[in-house]
């Protein structure tokens, strides 16, 4: 599951710029952790959320991409977090946590039901008896990939050292599998070659998720449709289950 967006420092340098702190998912997860306790952040990326949560919680961040963890370890608050380089499908830490997070649409990088079920089993293996889990995935009914064309996705990224960088996506959806293959491009000033990386993500449906969650020994207490806390409906942008061990 090597993806240059996360494994190549040339691309990782744009991750925080394009995913600014203070996001709605951050705020929601911070509110879930407000009573302290232990937190496991699966797919922690560059550690923005894990570092923020570490002010009041004992936090472990799991991430398979070493380039992302290099950023996480050196960010403010990074010294308060236990960082683990591992795959969410197979990691077993031998302890349980009060809150388990898998945000930033990280669940979607797992392309098959087999891999998605493995991640859900990891969640179940690490939840304390009264612990809660939360993760997010984009609602396939909204067909968000239609916005990931060069024309619709073009933007200017204000990089702190590279300046104004033009960026865009291009995407293709395969209906039979529900997998979207998309490319991310960065055009850096100064005549440098355009950076391009291809990625694949899945768009599982709520019904399939509900079945896999149940099979993993978990139960959903709430289905949210966005990070503002609205209940899930068919036209919600997100599918966000919150639950516990069954």
Question: In the chain, where are the structural domains located?
Answer: 4-140+204-245, 141-202
pLDDT of residue 23: 87
- Rounded average pLDDT over 117-145: 98
pLDDT of residue 22: 61
pLDDT of residue 20: 76
Residue 94: closest CA among 84, 106, 81, 80: 84
β-strands 97-102, 38-42 pairing: parallel
- Rounded average pLDDT over 187-210: 96
pLDDT one-digit tens code per residue, 163-192: 999 999 999 999 999 999 999 999 999 989
pLDDT of residue 1: 55
pLDDT one-digit tens code per residue, 31-79: 999 888 999 999 999 999 999 999 999 999 999 999 999 999 999 999 9
Whole-number mean pLDDT of the chain?
Answer: 96
pLDDT of residue 194: 97
- What is d(CA 125, CA 131) in angstroms, rounded to the nearest whole number? 11
> 4-140+204-245: which CATH topology?
Rossmann fold (3.40.50)
Structure token digits, residue 130: 């009264």
């Amino acid at each position: 599951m090597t993806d240059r967006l996360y494994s190549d420092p040339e691309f990782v340098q744009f991750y925080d710029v394009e995913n600014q702190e203070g996001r709605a998912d951050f705020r929601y997860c911070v509110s879930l952790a407000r009573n302290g306790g232990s937190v496991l952040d699966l797919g922690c990326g560059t550690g923005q959320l894990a570092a923020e949560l570490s002010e009041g919680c004992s936090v472990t961040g799991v991430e398979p991409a070493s380039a992302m963890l290099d950023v996480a370890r050196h960010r403010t608050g990074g010294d308060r977090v236990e960082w683990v380089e591992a795959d969410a499908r197979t990691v077993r830490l031998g302890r349980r946590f009060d809150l388990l997070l898998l945000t930033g649409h990280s669940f979607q990088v797992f392309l098959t039901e087999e891999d998605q079920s493995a991640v859900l089993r990891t969640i179940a293996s690490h939840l304390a008896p009264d612990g809660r889990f939360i993760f997010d995935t984009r609602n396939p009914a909204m067909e968000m990939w239609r916005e990931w064309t060069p024309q619709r996705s073009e933007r200017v990224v204000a990089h702190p050292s590279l300046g104004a960088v033009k960026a865009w996506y291009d995407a293709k959806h395969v209906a039979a599998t529900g997998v979207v293959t998309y490319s991310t491009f960065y055009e850096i000033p100064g005549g440098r070659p355009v950076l391009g990386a291809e990625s694949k993500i899945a768009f599982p449906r709520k019904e399939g998720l509900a079945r896999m969650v149940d099979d993993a020994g978990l139960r959903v207490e709430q289905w949210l449709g966005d990070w503002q806390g609205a209940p899930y409906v068919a036209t919600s942008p997100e599918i966000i289950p919150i639950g516990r061990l069954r």
